[in-house]
Amino acid sequence: MARRRGPHRAGAWPWVFIGPLLAGVAVFYYYPIVSNAWTSLTQSGAFGTNQRFVGLDNYAGLVDRGDLGTAVLNTLGYTLIVLLGVPLSVMVAAMIELPGLRFAPLYRALFFMPYLAMPMAIAQVFRLVFNGDFGLVNQGLRALGVNASPYWLTTPGFALVAVALFGLWSSIGFNVIICCAGLKGVPRELYEAASLDGAGPVRQFWAVTVPMLTPSIFFLTVMQTIAGFQLFDALFALMGANNPAMPQTRSLVYLFYQLGFVVNDRGSAAAVAMVILVFVAAVTAVQFWGQRRWVTYA
Amino acid sequence: MPETTPKRSGRRRRPRHLLVHAVLLTGGLVMAFPFAWQLLMSLATNAEIQSVPPQPIPSRLHVENYAAVFDRLPFLHQFGVSVFITVVRTAGQLVLCSMAGYAFARMRFPLRGVLFGLLLAILMIPSQAYIIPQYGIVQAWGLLETPWAIVLPGMFSAFGTFLMRQQFLSLPVELEEAARLDGCNPFQTFWRVMLPLASPGLFAVGITTVLYSWNDLLWPLIVTTRETSMPLSVGIATLQGQHTTDYAVLMAASVMAMAPIFLLFLAMQRRVIEGLATSGLKG
């Protein structure tokens, strides 16, 4: 009887099926994670020679130089701004999925488009828009009478806001698609019952849409937080590698890239990677714990 | 009375929807604006791009910006690299993940639960924690500056395997038993009977991987330094001059780099959105 769920008897076959994947995973994931943890405790010469154990020196160095603190703050700031996209997307999706709304497929397509965009390519037009001299943002500000309009992409602080606005724009597409898909699963009768009870559209949004969407909202919050912690593309594409404001604006992953592959300090870069790992693991832990508390499953 | 009863059957336009249309249209235009502006600027001159006040419509269509891309960038090389890494990575993932996903869903073997748990653990670890050793491996194998370096680590996907396992779990067992009674060996059962039924899962894994491979930046940036070995997602950055930038050509190159994905998704619009929604909700 125990064989019923698996029609094929054990033997060599399962290993034929999972062997290639497991071999690749062992080489490219299991060995690297162990190796990276070890590398973070070592220092080596410019070409990876003379690797020696230094304990937690790499971590201490990152903290002492202030690089780590700045990168953590920038990463968190960016992530918070991008997370504003989740409530926005819930509202947009709730409107798009109103029963009988005309042009709904058109709206869905418009909001979805940023998800397809290559960050490096679409960032080029954001570089124009945020340009200090002729960018549309500053021309708009000047038209409104703001004369001290900043050089967005080369001024610390402003640069992070510009990058985060770009990240926010990029994140909306995926958010809206997930929310729209979540709303399709909400039974129409709930809205009918709510309106029979005299609930208007706003009340229905809070009393039906939001609770029924909690699985999507929770999933998106976790996903966008993890994605935010891994900020690199938007920063690199929008600001460029030689930007004078980069040291004050860089994220954890940018710091990792610069240490590991520009100045070739692999030990410190590996330490930054371990810090990113801790951040992501913390979010995953919150996910497991929080899912039971906040999410309503229909 | 009809104004106050919130009945939803009527096809009449209600004033409430006018407000909804106004909001959605404004938001939608904000989403679409960068694409439109990039397209317009790719047909303008640098003077027009930098003009104050802005000049949205070019005096004439400067199509020559697109021709200039081929002089400034090894565009065809980079396009070829992008196509290669996208096709090989997607095909590799589809084969490896569907086979492994099938075994995890339907076969019994020792350590099945442990191995699957270990595989899922990969999903909780950010990719940066693998990159330095992965670089060491492709370097040791002499693959730096080749498309294989870009492709290899990404061919093995825990997420894809997870999705395919879910897909196979949702299919009826009876079919496999029938195939087995007909004398199919496990591989034939998988290949001829089960895989065709798993097409929604394959599609979801496929489009996610295509999109990710085409647009990916950090890993290809690390393993390629020569302009001719870069995919487009990295190569475009080389057009950003440190002091002077030919904006018009940069915009034209960007439009060309994004066009294939947009055409592909336009061709398969409905299934794409369904596929992305499944891959997201199950994840």
Query: Of B221, B239, B257, which closes a domain?
Result: B239
- Judged against a pLDDT cut of 90, whether residue B64 lies above it is answered with yes
Residue with the bigger pLDDT between B268 and A84: it is A84
Mean pLDDT over each residue of chain B, to the nearest integer: 89
**What is the DSSP annotation of B169-201?**
HTS-SHHHHHHHHTT--HHHIIIIIIHHHTHHH
Lowest-confidence pick of A244-253, B125-134, B260-269: B260-269
Whether B90 and B22 map to the same domain: the answer is: no
Domain match, B98 and B229 both:
yes
The structural domains of chain A, ordered by start, are 64-294 (1.10.3720.10)
Looking at A26-84, list the stretches that DSSP marks H as alpha helix, in order from N- to C-terminal side. 31-39, 57-64, 67-83
Is the domain of B150 the same as that of B191?
A: yes
CB contact under 8 A, B28 and A129: no
In a domain, B28, yes or no: yes
Beta-carbon contacts below 8 Å between A and B: 310
pLDDT at A142 > cutoff 50: yes
Give the CB-side neighbour count of residue B227, counting CA atoms within 13 A: 11
- Whether residue B110 sits in one domain with residue B35: no
Determine the pLDDT at residue B243: 64
Compute the average pLDDT of residues A69-92.
96
Whether residue B140 is contained in a domain is answered as yes
Does any domain span residue B215?
Answer: yes
Residue length of chain B: 283
Q: At what angle do helices B199-215 and B247-267 cross, to 10 degrees?
A: 180
Shared domain check, B210 and B113: yes
pLDDT at A293 exceeding the cut of 80: no
Specify if B244 maps to a domain.
Answer: no
- In tens, the pLDDT along B4-59 reads 444 444 445 455 688 999 999 999 999 999 999 999 999 999 999 998 888 888 88
- pLDDT higher for A48 or B266? B266
User: Which one, of B263, B164, B255, B252, lies nearest residue B206 by Cα?
Assistant: B164
More confident residue, A174 or A297: A174
B174 and B38 co-located in one domain: no
Read off the pLDDT band of A47 (50, 70, 90). Answer: low
pTM of the model as a whole: 0.90
User: B229 to chain A nearest CA, in Å?
Assistant: 17
Nearest CA to CA, how far is A64 from chain B (Å)? 22
Residue A143 has pLDDT above 50, yes or no: yes
Tell me what pLDDT residue B283 has: 35
Residue at B38 is within a domain: yes
Same domain, B93 and B155: yes
Q: How confident is the model at residue A52 (pLDDT cuts 50, 70, 90)?
A: confident
Q: Does residue B254 belong to the interface with chain A, where contact is any CB pair within 8 Å?
A: yes
Give residue A198's region: left, alpha or beta (phi > 0; psi -120 to 50): left
Q: State residue B32's pLDDT score.
A: 96
Contact B258 A25 (CB under 8 A): no
Return the pLDDT at A51.
83
Asked if residue B210 belongs to a domain, the reply is: yes
Cβ contact (<8 Å) for A229 and B126?
yes
Same structural domain, B42 and B172: no
Where is average pLDDT lowest: A115-119, B11-15, B185-189, B201-205? Answer: B11-15
Domain count along chain B: 2
Distance CA B117, CA A207 (A): 38
Q: Domain range for residue B140?
A: 73-239
CATH code for position B117: 1.10.3720.10
With 80 as the cut, is the pLDDT of residue A98 above it? yes
pLDDT surpassing 60 at residue B247: yes
pLDDT of residue A114: 94
Residue found under tokens 């810090």: A275
Interface check for B177 against chain A (CB to CB < 8 A): the answer is yes
Longest C-alpha distance within chain B, in Å? 78
The domain boundary, picked from B67, B98, B127, lies at: B67
Tell me what pLDDT residue A146 has. 86
- In percent, the amount of chain A with pLDDT more than 90 equals 67
Instruction: Say if residue B203 is in the same domain as residue B148.
Output: yes
At B146, is the secondary structure helix, strand, or coil?
A: coil
Res A8 pLDDT > 60: no
Give the per-residue pLDDT at B55: 86
Q: Is the pLDDT of residue A291 over 90?
A: no
Residue B119 lies in a domain: yes
Mutate to test the interface with A, among B25, B107, B182 (most CBs of A within 10 A): B107
Whether residues B131 and A272 touch (CB distance < 8 A) is answered with: no
pLDDT for the residue B16: 62
Has residue B274 been placed in a domain? no
User: Minimal Cα distance from B191: which residue of A?
Assistant: A17
DSSP assigned state of A290: H
Tell me how far apart the alpha carbons of residues B202 and A275 are, in angstroms, rounded to a whole number: 34
For residues B105 and B137, membership in a common domain is answered with yes
Of A72, A294, A26, nearest in space to B121 by CA: A26
pLDDT above 80 (res B242): no
> Same domain for B231 and B152?
yes
Same-domain pairing of B56 and B102: no
* A98 neighbourhood in chain B, CB within 8 Å: 17, 20
